[in-house]
Structure 1
Amino acid sequence: MDKKPDNPIWAMSSAFDQLPLHALIATAEKIGVQGIDLCVFRRDGTRSDHTATHLEYEGFSPDDAARVLDQFNASGLRLSLGAFENLIGGDPAERIRNQNHLLKLIRMAYLLGGDANDVKVGTFVGYNHELGNQENGFQKNLDEYRRVFTPIIRYAEDLGVTVLYENCPMEGWRSAAYTSTYNNLPGVLAARKLMYALIPSRAHGEIYDPSHDVWQHTDPVEVIAQSDMSRIHRIHVKATRNLKTTARTDWGGMYPMQSVDAGLAAAAGVSIPANAWNRHHYEAMLPGFGGSDDLDWRAFVSQLTEKGFTGPYEIENEARNSKDTGNQGAIIQGFRAAVGFLSPMLWELDATGGYTHGGVKPLLRPNARDIPVRTVDQL
């Protein structure tokens, strides 16, 4: 029998936005995960969906880092950081604030041990629609990405920290009155390959979330087969069930639903979006919780194992029947179900304890000198 890969399973903290850090850690222990991807969003940011701030990012010091490392070691957990915003488009003042916040997180990750402790920094890239609406708009977004991120990735590399992009297209990030739902540059594999060619540094990679490709009618198993595995450091565990609705027949599976006059739509018997996120005929789920989804998870995990992936599988709970209920019990049930779903594929069978993870290595105390907070104009 083939040996199981023993990947750790983590929880992303966005589902527990109402919990302080100590309660979050206690909940993670209860769920049975081996780590937490801590959301550290700007408190004055413009996003209101699936955000949380579980570390104080202003004035974060080496002493703060030591306390966090001790707290996680005492619970047998590991950690990463992340905040997911538009860094190359949108309001010009907001994008600078988002860039500066990313630099704060990179500094925090450095103080927490960076790559030596596998403390990565997750982010979006975003998209600049003023450029995108022009001829060759996608290339212009790639060029803007290179301009903005080249000094950011150099800064991260100098500090021994890796920045990770999530592949969500952020399909509901703009009003449904806009035609396109492509709002985050690394939303397709081709873009990520081009981004690494533009900035060849090893100090950036990705958090791959298969659920976003499922509704784009792309097989995540094939995406992994064609990916550079040295770039994939995290896997998001989130499922998608593609819905067979009249709206899918009305608008097809290739294009998003479009917003038209409501009276005209009613007269014609045509479906229109109920909100900006209701445009691609799918339901966000957790694997193994409340029904089947449209990914062959065994084939997906097997492909990752075959290609040597050893990193965490991070449960990102945005499920309608779990996180969206607002019910803490249902949220925890969803996480537990996902852990139970994954564990036979990842962990060895213990003689008495069932499928059990092999154990977590403690986080090291880094010998990191304090450094000042930097802003993008100083890079």
Structure 2
Amino acid sequence: MPEPPSQFIRGLKVLYVEDDPAARAAFGAFLKRRFGKVILARDGAEGLEAFRSAPVDLVITDVQMPRMGGLALVEEIRALAPGVQVALTTAFEEVDVLVRAIELGVDHFLLKPLKQEAVEAVLLKAAKRIWADSLARQRAEAERDAAALRRTAVLGTLFQGVAHDFNNLLQAILSAVDLALLHLEPDSEVRAILERSLDHTEQARALGRRFVLLANPAGRRVPLPDLDAVIQEGVRKGLGARPVEAAWGLPARMPPVQADRAQLVRVFQNLAENAGEAMPGGGRLAVAADLWDPPASEAPAGQTGPFVRIRFRDSGPGVRPEHLPFLFTPYFTTKPRGKRRGTGLGLTVAESIVRSHGGQIRACPSDAGACFEVLLPAGPLPPAHA
């Protein structure tokens, strides 16, 4: 098993749950000298609340505690994050406790009173496991990203050529239609037909602009201190006049991001359009954002936090599990094609733009409706008075 570098170990986040104040203070101080962030909790209920608020890489918990014991805590954590490392500290050697702990998948055991050598060995073993899992995940993500980059490069060249020829043909059609309209009476039936064809041609031009975005997603990046306004603009454009309520959960102060404003508006517009099309009879789109500093085991491959995390959650029918692997594939759509429905390029364009900005877009777990999450590298928070 590979040895984790000291910088990686210092970056790990640990939750320590212990009801004895003296033990919690002493062992908590010991942990803080070794890890980047240590969260202390007095019992399982407080520990579970802390874990839900800020997932960690390693949980160390006592067994016997008021309100919620360690085994009940582990059971809840396993349901939330099956892969997180868990160490159990106990003064008891009861067989039923050990059997239940093994059934729950406890990774490490520490017998009280805690001895420094044993603790150091367990912590190093846990760090090695986290490091190995992180490397495996990063390799898999890097391979997927490399394949996506190769596909994007090929598609970019193709789309750039198609967009050029497409726009030239459209310009010729538009010129011919405009010329024909000059020779028709205002109440001519042929004029009405040609004017309808102009509407369709404008939609074709919008499709051509999407081809251009796929060919060159990076755009011109500048600091954007008003990301909340960018999100709201994109959502308003995406929802249009649809009977969908937008519910906002945007913080008063959001970190700036380095981005092309128009392209980020397009990302949020595409996500809102998808949500609106999934709820033709009306519904609710909840848009929330926060600053997310992920534990080492959850950070996107090759990147470190913090990130601005923007989440779009709608009340529509949701995404079927078999469709998840294809959501960002060009021309994949579950909607009927036509004037008012999708072409299958919206999420592809959004994913290409976000990735070119050093971020990530993904479907996130949802009990009801569809949920998408956009991660963008965050800059420092502006001063409180700004």
TM-score computed with the length of structure 2 as normaliser: 0.23
Higher RCO (CA 8 Å, separation ≥ 6 residues): 1
The TM-score with structure 1 as length reference comes to 0.24
Which structure has the larger Rg?
Answer: 2
